Amino acid sequence: MDPDIKFDCIGVDWQVVAETLKRVGMAYYESDMHRRAFEASYTTVFVYQGGQLIGFGRAISDGVYQAAVYDLAIVPEFQGKGIGRTIMTHIFSRLSHCNIILYASIGKEGFYRTVA
Q: 20-56 burial by CB neighbour count: b if 16+ within 10 A, else e? A: bbeebebebeebeebbebbeebbbbbbbbbeeebbbb
- Mean pLDDT score across all residues of the chain: 92
The whole-number pLDDT of residue 2 equals: 87
Question: Alpha-carbon dihedral of residues 35, 72, 98, 113, nearest 10 degrees?
Answer: 170
- pLDDT tens per residue, range 73-99: 999 999 999 999 999 999 999 999 999
By mean pLDDT, which of 31-35, 66-70, 110-114 is the weakest? 110-114
